[in-house]
Each structure stands twice: as structure tokens, then as C-alpha cells.
Structure 1
């Protein structure tokens, strides 16, 4: 992220950045791995996989570098839990509405690596560190043959921002032959004023001529992306994902920001045992 990075072995924030990038990979391909499951995998047996991926991420802070990072991948799933990277979902009993419709419920926990250190970019010089945090909440998904709609509410249980988020997503999966699955998605992500202010606000003590004080307000980002899986066979899969978010005015108006979007690209390989 910074204009000149310390080496990975000496950078004090390297471990946190690795977790942050891993969280991005999780958001991009957690459902992609679910798409790759065999129908029988939803029973009582546990499936798991190991792999390696690369994430390229661009945050909206002024003059911050694009981050390109290799990451290890771990995926575990059965009828009770789904683990991918630093995210875990505890599955609750589902409700069958019809042969083609189902309501799925879950309790989710994840690490979100949002935030920065003051040496990440010149505009952040003199700013107090903004830390990522552990978030937890609930998720509900309406699954149908036409579209899948999911809603997720999360709260910052690590109390760094003391914020809340609500995500609403619509997606649909298309099968191309026996090996390829593509899932485009659109969504909206709301965050409260505490979250916006923590990551994009400027405190009075941090203000300077080119960085006036700024208090963040609640914001809604519009998101779009596509995820995909190419399965060579039941063991070997290639995963990909592209995500773009159009930032809310409450974020773009921050003196720390010079972009109207942020984006992430993921490419990985997963071996399922």
C-alpha cells in the first residue's frame, strides 16, 4: 500500500495486511467454492480443501499503492459450518418454501482488514492508525431457480469502530457445460456513521491545511462483480473473482480519498480432498 514498502519480513503491518487480503479473497470466492460442491457434499460429511491464490486490491485513499499479495487458501464445509479464510458461518436449519425455493439462515463471523497505518500513503501521514476488526452477525438467503438474494447484518465486536454494516446481494449462477460456473452479482452495502467516520474521517487533532477535519456519515456503496469456478475434476478447481464498488458521496467527500471506486481481483487454485 505505501509508496515504498518495508520488506515483508520487517513490516510491522504485514501480518494484518495478509489477513486483510485474505478477507478480500474470502468475499470474492467463498460462494464460488460452495458452487463447486458435489450435490452429496451437503450431507453430514465434511469436505475440505487447500490451495493458493493471488489478490490484487485497490483502496480509495489518495496515492495509496495497489496491493498484490499471494495468500494460502483453506476451505472446510459440512451441513453445520462453512469456513473460508478468516470467515466462518454456522449454518442454522433451512426452510423449504417449494421445490425450487429455500430460505437459509446462518450466524457469521469474519475478520475485516479495512484500515491503514500512517505510512501507507502521504495523505495518511500523522493520522492515527485505523485497525481492522472482527465482525459478527446474522445472514439470511432466499435461494430460488431464478435468483439468490442474501441479506447480512454485522457489528464490529472488536470495538475498533463500534460500527454496523448491512449488505444486500442479488446473484445468479449459470452453468456452462460440466466444468464452468459463472455467478454475476450486484449489491448494496450500508455502513453507519461510526464506520464511515472511523475509516474515512479526520479528527480535529489530525487536521492540516491539505487535510481538513471531516466527520463521516452513514453511507451506501453500490457493488457489482462476477465470480467463477472451472472444475477440471472433483479435486482440482480454478477460482476467479472481480469486484468493483461505487463509493457513496459520504466517502468520496473525505479529504483522504481521491477515487470514486475501489476494486479487487482474485485468482486461485483449490484442491478438494
Structure 2
């Protein structure tokens, strides 16, 4: 019965979201849920938060433009369930030092050849749903996290794994949390979403290219401030340094991908 009630929450919250984060926005916000508190001054509150964010990131592929998106929607921090727009997790075990969870994510397509003449002949990248498992290790100084997820829709059959460390600094209504980690992607996922060019997509000026499996280090800074019982604000910056096999792709523009998010939310 408890799990069934959580599934009802998943469906209800999905209906509240009007637009998911695009796949280019790789922001690791999952661990802030471990810091949520049922308090009128907590920078990460328990329950439903409705509001909007301004999302900005540099475009991954050649001829694509850097983007800024205003996105309305909702997120949810519960005791066991957390929902963050395009991804969610359910904790099935928790104690003082360890928490384990089921993880799911919708990864939307990030390349459409109709968007730019330079991408003509490329195959449109489609969405997929990924699911997997993860764990948090709680220490006095850091929150260590790891997760593994795989495509379960049959689109790429790709997988990725993340190892991450956050260092939360919490003072009254303010949370500042620097973090860093590394993302491992297998060749199927990396080729499809991060610069691979198949034989069918190759041209005289765009050679066939195989990224292989990749390792990408990442750093992030997450901050949240609770103005009062009902209102809070969050600002995040995430930087991913692409594996050289991604950065050297003929269609990838840069070696570093920046994602900035600023939002305001209302909670009850």
C-alpha cells in the first residue's frame, strides 16, 4: 500500500510539470533531497514546490545556438520519493549512514537535423527512458553518491554511471553545496547523444566518428535560500569537462559544457 501511494504521487506530480529539462541540461540535483527538512526555515523543504526556473546552457553541437529557457513546473521532496522534472527517485532503504534508491529519468532528444543545415544527414536523436539503482553514503563532512542507469526503451541500449561527492554548508536559511564527480558513459549512449557519427551519417566533410566509452569529470555549485515559510530561491552551476573522445567529435563545439539554473519556488 505504501508503494502504491508513492506511485500515485508520481503520476500526480508528472501532471503538474509543464515542461521537462532538455537533455543538454545535465544538473546533478538529486542529492539535495537528502538535505530536505520539514521546517519553515529549511532551505530545502519537504513537500511540493511550484514555481519556475531560468535555464541556460551552451549548445553541444555545431550550428546549434546557446539556449536560455524559462521553464514553469514543480518539484517534490518527500521522505522516500523525490521528483525533479525529468527524473525521480524512490528510496527503499535508509539508515544514518546509507540510503539506497531506484532511479528513473526521461532523456529527451538533443539533435534534430532540421534545426541547422550543417547537421543535414544526421539521424534525429530521440527520447528514451532510463532506470537504475543508486546509493548515498552519509559522512560528517560529505555526501557520497553513486548511481547506475540503463536505457529500458530500446532506443540506444546505453548505460551511464555516476560517482559524486557533495560538501553541504548549511547555515540557518541558506544552503551552499559544492560538489564534484565523474560520469562514465558506454559507447552506445555516448555515440548517440554525445557526438558519434555513423556510416550512414558521414559525408565528405563530416567523417564517420566513434566516441567509444567515455569518462567526463564534472563540478557543481548548488545554493538555496528560504526567504520565508512559503518562498525559496535556488541557483546552480554545473560544468562538465568532456572526455577527449567527445570533445574531438567533428560535430561537438567545445570541451566544456556549462549549465546554469536560477529558480524561485512556492511551498505550503
User: For this structure pair, what is the TM-score category when the shorter chain's length is used for normalisation?
Assistant: 0.7 to 0.9
How many Å separate the matches in 2 of 1:20 and 1:143?
28
How many Å separate the matches in 2 of 1:23 and 1:84?
15
Residues 220/136 of structure 1: CA separation in 2 closer, same or farther (3 Å cut): same
State the match for 1:95 in structure 2.
95
Q: 1:173-214, CA deviations, whole angstroms, 9 ceiling, x for partnerless residues?
A: 1124x2211000101000001111222211112111220011
SS in 1 for 2:126: coil
SS in 1 for 2:191: helix
Q: 1:78-131, CA deviations, whole angstroms, 9 ceiling, x for partnerless residues?
A: 2231112122211112133xxxxx101000111122521003334312111011
How many Å separate the matches in 1 of 2:37 and 2:71?
22
CA contact (8 A) 1:28 1:266 kept: no
State the match for 1:70 in structure 2.
70
State the match for 1:205 in structure 2.
200
Unaligned runs of 5+ in 1: 1-17, 41-45, 97-101
CA contact (8 A) 1:156 1:164 kept: yes
Q: 1:35-63, CA deviations, whole angstroms, 9 ceiling, x for partnerless residues?
A: 453369xxxxx721211111002232123
Give yes or no for the alignment of 1:157 onto 2:152.
Answer: yes
Residues 35/223 of structure 1: CA separation in 2 closer, same or farther (3 Å cut): same
Give yes or no for the alignment of 1:183 onto 2:177.
Answer: yes
How many Å separate the matches in 1 of 2:92 and 2:32?
20
Aligned residue pairs total 246
State the match for 1:24 in structure 2.
25
Give yes or no for the alignment of 1:54 onto 2:57.
Answer: no
SS in 2 for 1:136: strand
How many Å separate the matches in 2 of 1:139 and 1:39?
27
- TM-score of the pair, normalised by structure 1: 0.83
1:22 is displaced (CA, Å) by: 8.2
Residues 152/19 of structure 1: CA separation in 2 closer, same or farther (3 Å cut): same
State the match for 2:9 in structure 1.
none
1:31 is displaced (CA, Å) by: 4.0
Q: How does 1:140-155 map to 2 (within 5 A)?
A: 140-155=135-150
SS in 2 for 1:206: coil
Unaligned runs of 5+ in 2: 1-18, 41-45
CA contact (8 A) 1:189 1:222 kept: yes
